[in-house]
Amino acid sequence: MDSNLQDLADRAVKFASDSGVQYCDARAEQQERKSILVENDQVEHIKNSDDSGIGIRLVKDGAWSFCSINNPNSFDQIKVAINDAIKNATYNSENKKNEISLYPNSSTKNKIDFPVLKTPDIEELLNIGLECGKIILNESRIIKSIINPWYTINSKYFTNSEGSEITQNFTDVVVEMIATAHESGVTQSVNITEGGRGGLEQILDKNKIQDSAKEIASKASQLIDAKPAKEEETTVVMNPDFVSLLTHEILGHPSEADRVLGKEMAWAGGAWWKGKIGEKIGSEELNVFDDPTIKESLGWYYFDDEGVETKKTTLVENGILKNHMQNRETAQTFNVPPTGNMRATNYRFMPLIRMACTCIGNGKWDVDEMIKGVKNGYLISNMKIPSIDMKRYNWSISCQYAQKIENGEITDLLRDVIVMGTAPDFFQSIDACGNDFTVRPITNCGKGDPMQSMIMGNGGPSIRGTATVKSVN
């Protein structure tokens, strides 16, 4: 973290406090980003960007206000922005029904450097991108490969009027890949994202990216010969990659307390289980948590953008709804501690309640045994595209491929498959969770107005339940 930027953040909080605000925090952030796009063995672009600035949030006369400054070169800039933010807060307070009240949080002074075992380098990323492209194009029927490796080096400093001073330095490395096959008028694409918080070890050691490239190319080619699925409500076994998106859409988002309270209803919707804490919303097999402390996931951090220390939060336990993800303001409403889920895309935005690493808990079942217990059903594999209603009640999620299960055996490969259901019925139908818990990287979750894109982890084991399956062209 640049010492001048950090000093400006400290001075901003002091200036706001001296100006009579009830609360103020500042986030000084720096990011270096490098990305490469390789299409069909051709390097389309190599992009480098550097960004730095300060986001300042304050409460005056019981109302929030916010300002941000890109690459500030003088404290006078910051003073002008803070004075304007104070005026906005005063104006907004005139029409505000309830004053802002924050759950108490202890002050903290800490600096955390996240481990990087293999420092990312643009030349090595380029070589990885070209190598993976060749692997994909070497498969029969493949007509296009897209490889997008990127990494960011981040430094974040948080300070507030309560005395906290927190620095977190971390690196993220990600590779996104698409393999497209075509033959006889049929086109099929399979994609995958690999990576995590750390260095190149996230794609070379933990998740060997070359193996993933070979897998998606092979599967895209095989899908040319795959059959469509007939529409039926039946037993489904979902693999961890598909479960990651399912968890994200129908368990993670409705667990955000601001959404539960209806504060996002106009642009993002609400939550069907509003007011149901303590009630049964699923089978006893269903356990859900959010955990920012899962190492190496894209949602790994130790303090959120309110300075709240993170911990594992139980959301659903044995089918009973236990809690939501909370910030300091909603925590006051629900009379529970904040959960450390307040995050912003960067300093330009006010933080929102966001998932960190929301997952279905691991089970005891061997996946082969889960499949053997299915007389007629489907193995659903790998996330694709979700379609969810405003309250996260009705859901439809397409998978990248599926396989028929007949008398406990996997048979036909199926393409263009979507899985549908209602959240409460599906949750109640879950009768088995596997012992193959996995966390997957999510790189494009949107929320808020203006829209904020966020990276995070989502995960779970294979799960078995009942849903409607069909193919669409």
Average pLDDT of adjacent 10-residue blocks, the chain of 473 residues: 95 98 98 98 96 98 97 95 96 86 97 98 96 97 98 98 98 98 97 97 88 98 97 98 97 96 78 96 98 98 98 98 98 97 98 98 98 98 94 96 98 98 98 98 93 97 98 87
Amino acid at residue number 178: I
Radius of gyration of the chain (CA): 24
The pLDDT value given to residue 77: 96
User: Rounded CA gap, 455 and 439, in Å?
Assistant: 13
Q: Distance between CA 340 and CA 48 in Å, rounded?
A: 31
Question: What's this model's pTM, rounded to 2 decimal places?
Answer: 0.96
Which residue in this structure is represented by tokens 């997952």?
Answer: 359
| 142/350 Cα distance (integer angstroms) | 44
Task: Report yes or no: 453 and 235 within 8 Å, Cβ to Cβ.
Answer: no
Q: Which of 333, 459, 314, 102 is nearest to 325 (CA)?
A: 314
The DSSP secondary-structure symbol of 253 reads G
pLDDT at 191: 98
Q: Which residues pair with 422 in a beta bridge?
A: 394
**Do residues 383 and 418 lie in contact, with contact meaning Cβ atoms separated by under 8 Å?**
no
Encoded tokens for 297? 């996931």
Kindly tell me the burial class for residue 187, based on how many C-beta atoms sit within 10 Å of its own C-beta (0-12, 13-18, 19 or more). Answer: middle
Q: What is the pLDDT of residue 264?
A: 76
Q: Can you state the angle between helices 75-93 and 3-18, rounded to 10 degrees?
A: 40
**What would the 3-class secondary structure string for 347-401 be?**
CCCCCEECCCEEEECCCCECHHHHHHCCCEEEEEEEEEEEEECCCCCEEEEEEEE
Q: How far apart are CA 56 and CA 344, in angstroms?
A: 12
175 closest CA partner among 153, 146, 154: 146
Element (H, E) at 201: helix 201-204
Check: CB of residue 119 under 8 Å from CB of residue 200. Answer: yes
